[in-house]
Structure 1
């Protein structure tokens, strides 16, 4: 055993470059595997635990029917709770108007479905008490008073408790007697088949009069919302994990096979000294395992550290302490070391099968293949001809280098495409930007009067240099069956030029039509062409959905309409595009002089970079650099091995007059064909990976993506990426080329 350990230590020390390649490859694959696996498993754990403990509602339905008719649907599910009277109302607290909330009359927090967890205070059982959800649009809850301005009598209630509903069935709860004139009734269901939500909703809808179901919410939607942030990271981490795993297999197999091929005579010596075939095989396996263990250890640490910021949001929502489970670390470690061991064992079997006499008789001999290729390149200068023909002399080694360049180029192609797609997405998030923005800056002063939109619009239209403009009014509404509120963007004028990225359908054409994001369609279970009811200040406003918009702001629950859909709203902000050649600052100064103090014009600006996009970009850059380094070092290992194998040939070339610069050209050009072929194969692989991963990331984030996010590879970009394969190959070949150029002629000629 001590002799075997000595062999392993000597091999690792002698092959430092190869050891570094194996360690880096395993570190990269383990980092991505730990991070992706933990996000896939851990991010949904708090929701699932809370859902089971609180007997969460698989389906919540809002009825406009009577309480008796709503109660008759209980037999369609395994268990139900309700009907509870419900209403939506705007909220006023401390003189500040807050967004509207869904209020439900409920006698106690328990029951067979959706048992609420009190996180502070007590339950509301008096006529002037209210319990609010953790998502309520106000901080410092308990002890404060709120006024529900849209309910009869505008009751003023004291907040006595804070509760959490795992499926967000409401934002506030009161005693049933408080809701004397409910807008509808809410019923909560537990299903025998939790995944059959659509079938259950169809059965419920059939059990009540037509149009009695005003809205519904599935537990699957709540689960997607709970894991949306972390689920966004999983697809691209899985992609990098697979690329890293394949690279690890290629690198380990190539390194061990190369070590066996170049050390045949040494293997014969070891066997002659008494080493068994098994010991020889394990010696080479051990030389791969030592750096692999170091890479695995570093990868586990890096994966656990990188998981901390990504899991942070889920921790805040559920007040949970999330970390990577130990079993994920164990599975990844065992799997990575198993892959390395198996790959190295297969590559080292040849060393065990070699006969001692045959191994001792082998010296360093030049390959006889590749002469035809040498004739093909005969018209080029001799160093280039010899270099370009070299891959054809050792096709197995050339294949290993090509594979390394393919996956390195694929990683760069995927990373560049992902970066450009994220840039498109970031730009799509920054719509409603313009050359000039007009509106009050900062909160209104006491006693200030809002400017008349007609006056502001007239001043903009009369200002020299105005090309086009539109006004924007904002308000909040609730949607029956959907917890929380939706932000309404009501546009006065043609806003279609404002950079709103459409996914499907069309921009609204008349009042009563709406454009909504994917998340809104998912949350309401609606599609383009459906009509949904928005509740605004106690009034029902039906709108027909005509288009799907890319939008991740406001949790993707915004609604975009013509201002005439809400005639009581007044535009508070205007967006202006100036004519070509007009100086923006001069335009702003002139418009401010015309507006006076009523409104303030200022140059438009783009939105801030999304934190999530920034984190994805940083992770992508880190993992890509690691993969490119592994790819280049894989080429380096093979070129170094090949250069040392033919060092005597290089000595002969030098003795015949080859200069150090020509020697470098010979070695570097030997990877030219490899770089071109690897780049040509790697770019389509990277593009295909991009076209599969980016939509999956969008689905993880709960949204579809605009078409521009996929059409990011122009012909010039593709050509540059193919050239990138050559760059990776050349970077790997430069160190061996430098060593070959520096080697003295006499030293090279004496080498066997």
Structure 2
């Protein structure tokens, strides 16, 4: 044991830098995997906890006021119901901030879909104008218990809220504004408020809903997996014309998970990729070290070391490095993870309170250590097979003779350092290819990470190419006519165009889900869709659809689809696929003129505003709101990149970890090249090469290896990144076509930095080896 420890200590002193990098790389990998685990838990658990405690409804149906909803409680599979409750869509204002809401008349605190109070108290009959706000809505309005909210003239609207973000801002011009008092704030398992997409939920006494536009009823099922069948039964019983919108628990859960699940997937993917790269780097390092210490290993066996002991020396040594990095990573996450700014810190804080936290905190580091140990064991097993009697090295190793191309290059009087360096890099083909492959893997992952960064940046720099051709959405009160509204909007010098539109909820064939049907622009002034496939709608009944809708209906571009808006059927021909960041891509869009063919009285309820380059959306929105004198509600179009801002820091951290792994492999390759060149030193000096030229041979060999790895990593990483990003886009409903690779200049700079860094790292050890004394060289060759 003492001899084993002395050998391990001596090896550690010789390879301190490599040991440090391995510890840091392992720590970074485990941190990535633990953060991914935390994000997955954070994405799923909070909503699930609220749904369970609230005894949430699996289906919410918005119907007309005349619908006979009492029959739904008798349906097979329905365990209990919530409501029906009268509802109305309107707008609430507080401190200069406006928000679209669904006002829901709730006579008593429900048992199904029960709001969970986080502050304040529930509705009180003694305060007829008291309301309870959903948490995210309260945060958007900066409202707290005791605050006063303003309801516009008319009190309530005539529309219904819905789960697709297609509710309309109601409000008639009669009456006078009134106020509501915030009594409490509550969590809900229903879809939460999103500006411009999903109206916020407000619970109020029935007397506060003075002009209801419909009703909402919730169904709790005995089997949640039968949701689609239950919706079909309910719509059949009530009649398709009676149901205006359907939302399910699956949609609410997916919306609640949001970008957290995507962050977890990114971290998990890169963490696993980095773990494989680290394992291969360790395998290569041990294999190179064994080839460089064959004589020492033979001596160890000659003095009594068994093959098992030799294997354990390498195995335990690298397991210790991995274990140290894993323990350090787990300790840092446990102690400081909740203090990380932003969403990552929140995720870790929630995850630490979950029952499976301790198990994950143990299993993830142990799994990483075991994988590194497995690759270490495979390489160390070769050390156990070294014979106790040193085998003389062959005079000319296989592939050691100059190739015909190398001899011709020397005949053309090319620099010997260039020719011999290239020849040395690729002399032993299996070993050289393995080195290039191990070095190319972290470089490939870095290219993928850079592509993820570039794609996120594209949402900010070129939103028109990512399904966001407009920056603002304006909704006008019913008292503001269309010509007057468009004139008011286009009067602003920074508004390039205002596209009139309408957005309604539509039931899909089979009546199991609700989609968003949009009519935007006109035939004379078409809406500028961001198309990934097909063409823009031009003729009658033509439309474009998001990937989420195509997947939901199992249709493709070129198919016809039928949907129901109220009791009116709408048949559209899908001529293109648009990139749709909203509503999980469950959107079908056509021109406003096409929708008017079914309903000539249909008028625009919203305006999509395209701004001039350089315009500040918030400043334009403030000016338009002021100019509208309370008749315009203007807000920014949600950008998915806003929710992915934590991913930028994640990408930087992952690139740093992958760079460490690449550095480990590069140092291994340099060490192996320097050791294998020792026996050629005498021959090179004998033919008249100077120490500087001999140094250049080793540097050129390393440069060629790094260059080959960069070319392979870039060539494979770019299409792989496009495939991964587009696959994620398809699964999220946005659709393929959003991937954006790094620019050619950035890739060239990345490759030049990698190759230059490799040459610089190789220069010092190569220079030292070239200036060794002849006696030392003879002892190394012997």
Shared fold, TM over 0.5: yes
Deviations 1:481-527 (A, max 9, x none): 999x99999768966576x4235676566999987877899999999
CA distance in 2, matches of 1:44, 1:91: 31
- Secondary structure of the 2:225 match is coil
CA distance in 2, matches of 1:47, 1:394: 57
1:641 matched to 2:672? The reply is yes
Please list every run of 5 or more consecutive structure 2 residues that lacks an aligned counterpart in the other structure: 159-171, 193-199, 411-415, 475-481, 597-601, 616-625, 629-635
Q: 1:433 to 1:107 in 2, by over 3 A?
A: closer
CA distance in 1, matches of 2:186, 2:605: 33
> After superposition, where does 1:684-703 map in structure 2 within 5 Å?
684-698=715-729, 702-703=732-733
1:4 matched to 2:7? The reply is no
CA distance in 1, matches of 2:357, 2:235: 43
Q: 1:59 to 1:453 in 2, by over 3 A?
A: closer
1:27 paired residue number? 27
Deviations 1:363-383 (A, max 9, x none): 666652114553441122343
Deviations 1:76-110 (A, max 9, x none): 33423233233223134569683332222323324
1:351 paired residue number? 383
1:261 matched to 2:291? The reply is yes
CA distance in 1, matches of 2:577, 2:105: 34
> After superposition, where does 1:321-400 map in structure 2 within 5 Å?
325-356=357-388, 358=389, 361-362=390-391, 367-371=396-400, 374-381=403-410, 382-391=416-425, 393-400=427-434
2:195 paired residue number? none
1:427 matched to 2:426? The reply is no
Please list every run of 5 or more consecutive structure 1 residues that lacks an aligned counterpart in the other structure: 441-449, 535-539, 578-583, 586-596, 600-604
TM-score (norm: length of structure 2): 0.74
CA distance in 1, matches of 2:203, 2:512: 15
Equivalent of residue 217 in structure 1, options 247, 250, 258: 247
2:777 paired residue number? 748
TM-score (norm: length of structure 1): 0.77
CA distance in 2, matches of 1:10, 1:319: 42
Moved more, 661-670 or 715-724: 715-724
2:130 paired residue number? 129
> After superposition, where does 1:66-465 map in structure 2 within 5 Å?
66=66, 68-72=68-72, 74-93=74-93, 98-111=98-111, 113-126=112-125, 127-136=128-137, 138-143=141-146, 144=148, 146-147=150-151, 148-150=155-157, 157-168=180-191, 171-176=201-206, 179=209, 182-300=212-330, 308-309=340-341, 311=343, 325-356=357-388, 358=389, 361-362=390-391, 367-371=396-400, 374-381=403-410, 382-391=416-425, 393-429=427-463
> After superposition, where does 1:342-741 map in structure 2 within 5 Å?
342-356=374-388, 358=389, 361-362=390-391, 367-371=396-400, 374-381=403-410, 382-391=416-425, 393-429=427-463, 469-471=496-498, 496=526, 500-503=529-532, 529=561, 549-550=578-579, 552=581, 567=603, 575=611, 610-671=641-702, 674-675=705-706, 677-698=708-729, 702-705=732-735, 707=737, 709-710=738-739, 712=741, 730=759, 733-741=762-770
CA distance in 2, matches of 1:523, 1:160: 40
C-alpha displacement of 1:669? 3.2
CA distance in 1, matches of 2:485, 2:643: 36
Q: 1:100 to 1:267 in 2, by over 3 A?
A: closer
CA distance in 1, matches of 2:471, 2:108: 49
C-alpha displacement of 1:56? 1.7
Moved more, 146-155 or 377-386: 146-155
C-alpha displacement of 1:714? 8.3
Q: 1:409 to 1:606 in 2, by over 3 A?
A: farther
CA distance in 2, matches of 1:65, 1:332: 54
CA distance in 2, matches of 1:399, 1:714: 28
CA distance in 2, matches of 1:185, 1:424: 42
CA distance in 2, matches of 1:570, 1:78: 38
CA distance in 1, matches of 2:41, 2:349: 17
CA distance in 2, matches of 1:433, 1:395: 48
- Secondary structure of the 1:624 match is helix
C-alpha displacement of 1:240? 1.6
CA distance in 1, matches of 2:727, 2:470: 36
- Secondary structure of the 1:107 match is coil
- Secondary structure of the 2:141 match is coil
Q: 1:86 to 1:661 in 2, by over 3 A?
A: farther
CA distance in 1, matches of 2:374, 2:722: 32
- Secondary structure of the 1:135 match is helix
Moved more, 361-370 or 689-698: 361-370
C-alpha displacement of 1:171? 0.7
CA distance in 2, matches of 1:511, 1:141: 49
C-alpha displacement of 1:115? 1.9
- Secondary structure of the 2:82 match is strand
Contact kept? 1:99, 1:476, Cα under 8 Å: no
CA distance in 2, matches of 1:32, 1:258: 28
CA distance in 2, matches of 1:87, 1:511: 35
Task: Give the count of matched residue pairs.
Answer: 706
- Secondary structure of the 2:315 match is helix
C-alpha displacement of 1:728? 7.2
CA distance in 2, matches of 1:550, 1:509: 18
CA distance in 2, matches of 1:59, 1:416: 41
Deviations 1:406-455 (A, max 9, x none): 21331233233333333333334368999999999xxxxxxxxx996677
- Secondary structure of the 2:90 match is strand
Deviations 1:263-316 (A, max 9, x none): 222122223333333222111112212332333245446767678446359669
Deviations 1:718-746 (A, max 9, x none): 88888888667646644443433444556
Contact kept? 1:491, 1:563, Cα under 8 Å: yes
CA distance in 2, matches of 1:315, 1:421: 24
Contact kept? 1:239, 1:693, Cα under 8 Å: no
Q: 1:374 to 1:427 in 2, by over 3 A?
A: same
Q: 1:184 to 1:258 in 2, by over 3 A?
A: same
Deviations 1:386-421 (A, max 9, x none): 333335544453233112232133123323333333
CA distance in 2, matches of 1:728, 1:628: 11
CA distance in 2, matches of 1:176, 1:514: 40
CA distance in 2, matches of 1:168, 1:294: 44
